[in-house]
């Protein structure tokens, strides 16, 4: 039973059936009463039933006699992250998502999901992971376990928690294992699709193999990262800045053990910095791009994400960075994999 089926009940059902279903939902006890076309008619809680009984209603009355007829809802594809934050601020825990025909298409449970980011996701999962051999001789790197589950599963689970449902995996090396592991994503309430490179297409070229993107923004990331980046804040920063592309970045500090002389073009010393520390920002392998930028990627050619970034810069489009203030680890070598096994015991993903 999916989340919509768990939280909806036909108006023709009995009051007793509604009570049984509410009891089974425990702390998530709210139902949305619908007609036979799944159109939203109202909401129903234990409190609504109790108040109805106090007014003289009984088990022989219709459910619609008990319901709240003007429930709060989210209109599909017509909402903002700020509106979702307002729901949370007003202590709404479970909200139906309806389409333009008032049909309930999904349920947002803030206990399970923090928000809904209106974007599709593409995870690059086709690499051979040569530096991690022999671990990757029979297992694709994204499926190597860190703690109790594969690296890529942490990323997919975190994307799901921010409401990204359309997840595309770009696969190649031992890719069938990823297909077997995740399937179509239905059991996770996700839409998981796969594209396969017949030849190497670089770190972004295979995105053109995805047949269709539902949203205007696409989150692209490497699948072998372990991170607790705040995706909602990342997306909000990108949208608020009206950028064409956002690149998540990690800070890298270099300590110079000597005094550094800073000179001008005439070799005249302008300042002396004693043992300075310089901070650089490194590409973290997580990006948000406008769907329109896909036309800048050549078809059926090797094309790296850095090539796309350079084209954006050359065209004077807006490119921003987003600093990851939390945990981030690129699992590329054996020492990284070993570190991940220790770190996973202490970080929250």
Read off the pLDDT of residues 236-252 as tens digits, 9 standing for 90 and up.
999 999 999 999 998 77
pLDDT of residue 206: 93
Domain-by-domain residue ranges, the chain? 3-109, 120-242+283-343
**Between vectors from CA 74 to CA 73 and to CA 79, what angle results, nearest 5°?**
150
Class of domain 120-242+283-343: alpha beta
- Let me know if domain 3-109 sits in CATH 2.60.120.10: no
Radius of gyration of the chain (CA): 25
Query: CB within 8 A of 160, min separation 6: which ones?
Result: 113, 188, 189, 190
Percent of the chain whose predicted confidence (pLDDT) is above 70: 99
Within the chain, which residues score under 70 in pLDDT?
1
Buried b / exposed e over 18-43, threshold 16 CB at 10 Å, is: bbebbeeeeebbbbbbbeeebebbbb
Cα dihedral sign, 291-293-295-298:
negative
| Each residue's pLDDT tens digit, 35-67 | 999 999 999 999 999 999 999 999 999 999 999
Nearest to 178 by CA among 202, 155, 207: 155
Q: How far apart are alpha carbons 349 and 158 in whole angstroms?
A: 7
In this prediction the pTM is 0.84
């Amino acid at each position: 039973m999916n989340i919509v089926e768990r939280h909806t009940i036909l108006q023709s059902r009995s009051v007793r059936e509604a009570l049984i279903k509410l009891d089974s939902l425990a702390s998530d006890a709210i139902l949305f009463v619908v007609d036979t076309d799944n159109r939203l008619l109202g909401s129903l809680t234990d409190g609504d039933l109790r108040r109805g009984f106090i007014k003289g209603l009984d088990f022989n009355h219709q459910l619609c006699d008990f319901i709240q007829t003007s429930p709060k809802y989210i209109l599909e594809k017509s909402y903002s992250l700020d509106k979702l934050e307002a729901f949370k601020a007003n202590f709404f825990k479970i909200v139906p998502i309806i389409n333009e025909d008032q049909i309930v298409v999904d349920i947002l449970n803030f206990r399970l999901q923090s928000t809904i980011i209106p974007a599709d996701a593409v995870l690059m999962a086709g690499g051979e992971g040569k530096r991690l051999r022999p671990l990757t001789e029979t297992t694709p790197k994204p499926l190597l376990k860190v703690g109790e589950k594969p690296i890529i599963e942490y990323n997919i689970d975190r994307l799901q928690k921010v409401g990204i449902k359309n997840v595309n995996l770009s696969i190649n090396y031992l890719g069938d294992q990823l297909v077997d592991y995740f399937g179509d994503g239905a059991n996770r309430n996700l839409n998981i699709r796969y594209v396969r490179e017949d030849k190497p297409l670089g770190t972004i070229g295979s995105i053109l193999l995805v047949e269709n993107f539902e949203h205007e923004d696409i989150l692209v990331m490497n699948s072998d990262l372990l991170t607790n980046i705040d995706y909602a804040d990342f997306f909000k920063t990108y949208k608020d800045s009206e950028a064409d592309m956002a690149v998540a970045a990690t800070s890298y500090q270099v300590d110079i053990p000597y005094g550094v002389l800073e000179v001008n073009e005439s070799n005249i010393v302008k300042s002396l910095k004693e043992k300075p520390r310089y901070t650089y920002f490194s590409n973290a392998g997580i990006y948000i791009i406008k769907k329109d930028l896909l036309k800048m990627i050549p078809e059926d050619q090797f094309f790296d994400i850095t090539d796309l970034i350079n084209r954006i810069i050359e065209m004077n489009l807006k490119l921003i960075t987003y600093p990851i203030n939390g945990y981030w680890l690129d699992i590329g070598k054996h020492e990284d994999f070993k570190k991940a096994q220790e770190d996973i015991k202490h970080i929250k993903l």
